[in-house]
Amino acid sequence: MTSSIVSSAADLPAGTSFPWIADGFAYGGDYGPEQWPEEVWQEDVALMARAGVNSVNLGVFSWGLIEIADGVYDFGWLDRIMALLHAHGVGVNLATPTAAPPIWLLQAHPEVAPVTEAGVRFSQGGRLGWYPCSATFRRYALRIVEKVSQRYGKHPALRMWHVSNELGNENHHSYDDETGAAWQLWLREKYGAVETLNDVWGSAFWGHHYTSFEQIQPPRYTGTGHNPALLLDFERFTSDALLGHYVAERDVLRRITPNIPITTNFMVQNSPGVVDYAAWAHEVDLVANDHYTLGSDPERYGELAFSADRVRGMSGGAPWLLMEHSTSAVNWQPRNLAKSPGELTRNSLAHIGRGADGALFFQWRQSSSGSEQFHSAAVPHAGAETKVFGEVEALGGVLKRIAEVAGSRVAKASVAMLFDSDSASALRCGPKPTVDVNSLDVALTFHRELTSRGVAVDIVHPGSRLDGYAAVIVPTLFLLSEHNAAAIAAFATNGGHVVITAFSGIVTSHNRVRLGGYPGAFRDLLGVRFEEIFPLLEHERVTLDNGWAGSVWSELGEATTAQVVASYTEGDLAGRPAVTRRTLPASGRGTAGTATYVSTMLSRASAGALMDDLLARAGVGPVAAGDRGLERLRRTDGSRSWLFAINHAATPLSVTVTGLDLISDTRVEGLAVIPAGSVAVIREDNP
């Protein structure tokens, strides 16, 4: 997408690239005018103008209010609010309203609702109460999509289609018969012959041999465990089925409005991980993501940074949209912490510094009723004269001052981290040596250490091209194809530096363990052979003879061609290798790559020490020199560059930079001191 805007996207000739959805950064959020009397709408548009809002998501849960009975439509209120928003210069990302089926549909066709593992059908009264394999639901859904797109496809307020809402979040699995039949078909297409499936799944275990695809059921409640290969395929099937629903809606929209961009909001971090968004990213016109911080995490900005870097990896580096985040507290955590003063701005700019070209909130006006009545919004229950609205308004001003950054890209990082939802799903499918092993925790630990050092990281799918990076981190990437394992080895052979942590490359794409010692896919590259996993108890720690510490995991093994960097100091593994490094023969580039293996889950301090070593070895520095803890991000358009400096600490932190701080409109000569909790966006003199 480009960053220009046209008055009506529907006027574009077919085939041209889509305009960005707003003039500069998109700013606004989910808007629910249907919850309010129309007098309130006037106040809404006035407040939107005060805050600089230019983009709202409309109609997300409004199916029951526009199709009031089967085939009976009332578009009056939607017509009026579309016109009002347009009159006030607010662009609309209009939702296909299919996330929440109307009560009349659920009453007429209760069979569209998902069924749990134990055979219980969902009841009415929630949202996303449908499953993607329901032919009945599909028929009704596509009919309302067609109606909405025909009615509003040429509306001048329309900027983008927002398909459904967080597909796979609340309707992630269904175990009903219709889904079962679709699952059998999916398996037949994947494996061709049932004997191939038996072989790949290893169904001889417990004698689960199938003689036809019709015998295979979704993994319903058994009281005992299912085959992990079956569980993983069911996750993949579910992701494909949900994607199939998105594509079906998208194709209706595409047919009727070929010039309007189409997306759906991902939840790369907060979703149960059923959906393989990296695969979905190819099907949307711009990647949009929802992100909510977890109040219980004192370093929640670090998790946000990780999420935003993942989303940028999915968008292939192109600007993406933060479709939802919160102005303050959410309402679905056990304890919903309010955001600290300034946190809303820091969060928004951290997403933008990592490639978002907009920051939208759920939601515009805080509900007085309904199940999200205590979720924060831009306009709180207490009204506009509040901390929250004041910050919303201030952020609107900031986004105008930094508008020139929109359309630029995040400068390519020298460090890549590989992350794959399919592998994370495999790790969750079936019992593992410990419940504490989690690839996200491992990845986050390294990412936090790199971020606090001001080092940029691209988080990419293991199938991505690795040339151009100096270092690659493989954090507990349990499942890996032969092809992608070979690409990682080739990267090191060509002079790259790789860090691989325990329980990586263990299973093939079919979820079968590679034999001959751990970590199967990387034994030769790493020059190690580990033979037995020694998981640790919940609070147990291991110490290494170089002073490092680990938890969760340890392993018994040997270095074959690698050097031992650190050994375990205690217990059954005392004196055995814990961290190893193999230096590869010098490459054609004249430099020797290294492959480091870490057989325990390192503490933060030890992970930091390992990252210091990796950065020195790979010759990688921070985005800009500065104090530890200061978030530093760079966006560039090729001729100009902007340094984002975000201080999450309670003390001032500095960064070396010369240029103009667009937020305070002041020159910075050599050193910028960022006050506690503040942000700066500096157009650099020397891009």
Which residues in this chain contact ligand GLA in the complex, by CB under 6 A? Answer: 165-166, 290, 292, 324, 330, 362, 372, 375
Alpha carbon distances (Å) from 220 to 128, 130, 173, 232, 358: 21, 18, 11, 14, 41
Amino acid letter for position 228: P
Of the pair 166, 422, the CB lying nearest ligand GLA is at 166
Of the pair 67, 166, the CB lying nearest ligand GLA is at 166
Residue with tokens 């509040």: 386
Of the pair 111, 372, the CB lying nearest ligand GLA is at 372
Of the pair 175, 361, the CB lying nearest ligand GLA is at 361
Minimum Å gap between C-beta 32 and ligand GLA is 9
3-class secondary-structure state, position 440: helix
Of the pair 229, 330, the CB lying nearest ligand GLA is at 330
Minimum Å gap between C-beta 133 and ligand GLA is 22
Rounded Cα distance, 542 and 551, in Å: 6
Rounded to the nearest 10°, the torsion over CA 389, 391, 392, 394 is 120
Minimum Å gap between C-beta 375 and ligand GLA is 5
Strand-by-strand arrangement of the 55-58 sheet? 262-263, 158-163, 91-96, 55-58, 26-31, 356-361, 320-324, 288-290, 265-266
Buried b (16+ CB within 10 A) or exposed e, 176-210: bebbbebbbebbbeebeebeebbebbbbeeeeeee
Rounded Cα distance, 366 and 40, in Å: 12
Minimum Å gap between C-beta 266 and ligand GLA is 10
Specify whether the CB–CB gap between 118 and 186 falls below 8 A: no
Alpha carbon distances (Å) from 536 to 437, 575, 597: 10, 17, 18
Catalytic residue selected from 67, 249, 303, 324: 324
Secondary structure letter of residue 457 according to DSSP: E
Minimum Å gap between C-beta 130 and ligand GLA is 16
Closest CA to 31 of 77, 80, 92: 92
Residue with tokens 């992701």: 239
Specify whether the CB–CB gap between 479 and 422 falls below 8 A: yes
Amino acid letter for position 626: G
Omega before residue 519 within 30° of 0, cis: yes
Residue with tokens 């831009």: 378
* Residue 37 CB partners (closer than 8 Å, separation 6+): none
Tokens for 411, please give them.
Answer: 């400068």
Minimum Å gap between C-beta 57 and ligand GLA is 9
Tokens for 138, please give them.
Answer: 């599909």
Active site residue 324: yes
Minimum Å gap between C-beta 362 and ligand GLA is 4
Active site residue 166: yes
Minimum Å gap between C-beta 317 and ligand GLA is 25
Specify whether the CB–CB gap between 532 and 558 falls below 8 A: no
Of the pair 54, 165, the CB lying nearest ligand GLA is at 165
Pairing status of strand 471-474 against strand 497-501: parallel
Of the pair 76, 125, the CB lying nearest ligand GLA is at 125
Of the pair 324, 391, the CB lying nearest ligand GLA is at 324
Catalytic residue selected from 67, 166, 303, 449: 166
Tokens for 673, please give them.
Answer: 């001191």
Of the pair 327, 678, the CB lying nearest ligand GLA is at 327
Active site positions, annotated = 166, 324
